[in-house]
Amino acid sequence: MGGKMLNLAKKTFLAFLASIVLSIGVSKAVQSKTVEIIMAAPDWPPTRFMQEYFNSNFPQSGDTEIKLTLDFIPWDTFYTNVAASLTSGEEKYSMIVSDSQWLGAFIEGGYFQKLNKYIDADPELQAIFDDMHQGYKEGYTTYPYKSENYYGFPQFPDNYVNFYRTDIFCNPDENAAFRAKYGKKLPCTYADWEVTVWDDIFDINEFLTRKKGEMMAGKPLEDDMFGVTYQAGKAYDFSSMQINGFFWQYGGDIWREDQQPNAQAVGVVNSDINVEALTKYLDLLATMHPSHKTGGMGIFEMQALYLEGKIASMINWVGLGAPVVDPSLSKVYDITGYARQPGTMQADGTISRWANLGGQPFVMTTWMTDEEIDASFKIIKWWLSFDTQIAAVKAGGQSCMKSIIYSDGYNALAPWNAAYVASMDWQKDVWHIPEFFELLTQQQEEFDKAITGQQDAKTTLDNIAEFQQELLEEVGRIE
Amino acid sequence: MNNNSGFLAWVMDPKRRGPMLIAPAIIVLLLINIVPLMWSFGLSFFKYRANTLKPPKFSWFYNYEKVVQKEGIWEALQTTAIIVAGSVGVQMVLGFLLALLFAKKFPLRRILLMFVLTPMMLSNVAVAIYFKLFYEPEFGLLSQFVQSFTGEMYVLLATPAGALIGVIVADAWQWTPFVMLLVLAGLVSVPKHLYEAAEIDRMSWWRTFTTITFPYVRSLLLLAVLFRTIETFKIFDLVFILTNGGPGTATETIGVLVYRTAFQFFRTSSSAAMGYILLFAVIVLTSLYLYVIKQRESEEM
């Protein structure tokens, strides 16, 4: 009896094994071909999620297996690596996660594929385009900026959110002390932050800047503590993104590429309003963590300080939110609140919250074969489908599809979603023209001189305006 | 078969054997060195950006004129000169003193020598990251040390002078052992009987040093100055990682400027022109040192 049972078990097991082998064989036979899409991507959580989720959830169909391989490149060198790959002619990448500012440079170089004819021929792609938030569609897909020429799809939409320590900002004793000293409430809830403007940050930072060993929220501090902190780094765009927001909130502007060749740089970039806005940015910076003095307060450095509990609040991209709520990485994973970044009070009593659009589209390159183009559109449709977008949002990502962000329960998917969605209508993008990196690098150097105390706001903006005027006249963008 | 053996015999002919043996090296050198050099030299006379589809347009000396007229290159040359003077100066003094120390025999000398030589064996990137962490205001050792006295974080890289000092110290730390090694080679080659004679003559330490020790190491010291000046003049990775040329452009050396122009601004032909100006400066420096060395040799003769 026992022997028969053993034999039966053996036969069942062998049959089970045979069926697995057969099914693998059949599926391999059916999917006789593999198309590999290599995508250049910055190395951070939203792109790592895309790779993992594709590997486990992408629905393979038809006789071709689609393989997506993300080539992860660190953020600091991402532009340089991608630019080197494209200009060298190696034709390594079929798809690229591109910052929106790069579009002009690489479209003019002949590397990024125009998508209009594919969109016109495919109702599914048209539906995707119709579903995108207008500001994000213009930022991520159009060149020239705000034109009807489309080049990309959103890979990871992003904007600023205020991450703040609820154990400090909502502590009753701290609140009482703050009220006693400044006669107002220390912002604790989302609603409190909605009425908080940059001028309030002077008081908040003065109040929260304390030395190691002093008491804060009922405990002695293990390290020096600082208040609200924002970007002020020399690398890449780690000061321009925050400063542009100040210009726009004050009513100033940057050089307007959508109004070339009439738009000027001199008189706009160094306008009195912009000087006032930059002065406010610099004055506030003086109350923040001193790392900015090295030109090193980039988005990752700021994130590290916040995760270690050394600053009470950071204004940073949503894309850097996932590690904040990860107990293995963050000391503040369960004591963080989320709000919109402070704005600037206008004469009519409203608060302006303009900010520089973050996030990235992904684009297709011009040397792709028909099979690769077909496979890429399948990946794009899958990535922008409802279920995948929801999964991405749950994992710390974001969406700019109206059907997703305005759907019921969206704000509950991630703790920063309410702040993210409320900020979406306040986004403008920086230049998309091919000369953007030259403009950006010179601007970053000049801002860095101001941040490190080598020159004042007026000199800084005069130098930037003069450089931009000369360069843009030379390439025929200003007449 | 006959053809093959004929070809082999032709190749192996003693008259041709030498040229045939060095031919592969010459071809590789031509392909990876001379051809790109000529190509980039040619490119420096065109208007061209590598990130656009526009074909190169011949522009005579436009790029050279433009580069020379720009303030950036003079600032960068000045910054480079300060770093070269500071770093090479420190390396020479410390390298010489260390060599004098290690020329004598003492316990654990070999082990200590191994540790002292370690920095020059590290990659520039590793050294740059090490010093970036060392100078870091929040947890860096330097800031922690200063903070223990002042109670305030110390941000060395916050000012132009501090950042320059930071770069010079890091570069000098890495390359002082190289100078020491060269000088040490000179010191150990001094014939012992000269020192014995000096001792018999009761010569002072200073006179022994100036008349016996220094003449033996002078040519090696000049060689060290030559090598280190040329290398430091081209400094890029240490600066780029440590300060990114900042604050502002305070530590932007000519190497960093050429990189930015070529690979961030994509002003390909302008960067080629800058590269040739840099090459010219290095050739002038090299010739100058070689001239000095020859002068000294002829004086000694």
Residue A311 has a pLDDT of 97
pLDDT of the residue at B31 = 93
Does residue A20 form part of some domain? no
- Confidence at B18, pLDDT banded by 50, 70, 90: confident
* Dihedral angle sign, alpha carbons of residues A136, A139, A145, A150: negative
Please indicate, yes or no, if residue A140 is contained in any of the structural domains: yes
Model confidence at B1, in pLDDT bands (50, 70, 90)? very low
Judged by CB atoms closer than 8 Å, whether chains meet at A294 and B51 is answered as no
Rounded mean pLDDT, A76-85: 86
Tell me which of A93-97, A122-126, A142-146, A248-252 is least confident.
Answer: A142-146
- Which residues are A345's β-sheet partners? A351
Q: Which residues of B touch A224 (CB under 8 A)?
A: 153
- The answer, yes or no, to whether ipTM is higher than 0.90 is no
Does some domain include residue A29? Answer: no
Whole-number pLDDT of residue B4: 58
Chain A partners within 8 Å of B128 (Cβ): none
Do A233 and A333 fall within a single domain? yes
Domain match, A67 and A120 both? yes
> Mean pLDDT over all residues of chain B?
89
Structure tokens at A241: 């993104």
Indicate if A407 and A439 belong to the same structural domain: no
Confidence (pLDDT) at A22: 55
Closest chain A residue to B54, measured at CA:
A109
Mean pLDDT of A84-98: 92
Percent share of chain A, pLDDT over 90? 80
pLDDT of residue A370: 95
Q: Going by DSSP bridges, is the β-strand pair A427-428/A355-356 parallel, antiparallel, or unpaired?
A: parallel
**For chain B, what are the domain ranges?**
2-43, 64-300
Indicate the pLDDT class of residue B223, thresholds 50, 70 and 90.
confident
Of A11-15, A427-431, B221-225, the poorest mean pLDDT is in A11-15
Position A265 scores a pLDDT of: 97
Report in angstroms the alpha-carbon separations of B87 from B125, B140, B166, B230, B254. Answer: 18, 22, 10, 12, 16
What is the pLDDT at residue B296?
66
Quick one: A39 and A81 in the same domain?
yes
Residue A66 has pLDDT above 70, yes or no: yes
A249 in any annotated domain: yes
CA atoms of A451 and A460, how far apart (whole Å): 10
Q: Which domain range does residue A57 map to?
A: 34-158+359-428
A446 and B CB contact within 8 Å: yes
Kindly report, residue by residue over A403-425, the tens digit of the pLDDT: 999 999 999 999 999 999 999 99
Chain-chain contact of A80 with B160 (C-beta, under 8 angstroms): no
Are residues A119 and A258 located together in one domain of the fold? no
> Residues of A with CB below 8 A from B157's CB?
293-296
Domain assignment of residue A103, yes or no: yes
B135, B158, B265 member nearest A441 (Cβ):
B265
- CATH of B64-300 among 3.90.950.10, 3.30.1240.10, 1.10.3720.10, 3.40.50.1100: 1.10.3720.10
Closest CA to B64 of B47, B81, B88, B84: B47
A294 — contact with chain B (CB < 8 Å)?
yes
What is residue A1's predicted lDDT score, i.e. its pLDDT? 47
Q: Which residues, other chains included, contact A294 with Cβ-Cβ below 8 Å and sequence gap of 6+?
A: A452, B135, B137, B155, B157, B158, B246, B247
Using one digit for the tens of pLDDT, what is the confidence trace for B20-72? 889 999 999 999 999 999 999 999 999 988 877 778 899 999 999 988 887 68
Strand partners, A317: A160
CATH number at residue A258: 3.40.190.10
The number of domains in chain A is 2
Q: What is the pTM of this model?
A: 0.83
| A413 located within any domain | yes
Span A107-117, pLDDT tens digits:
988 999 999 99
Same structural domain for residues A351 and A213?
yes
In the prediction, which pLDDT does A201 show? 97
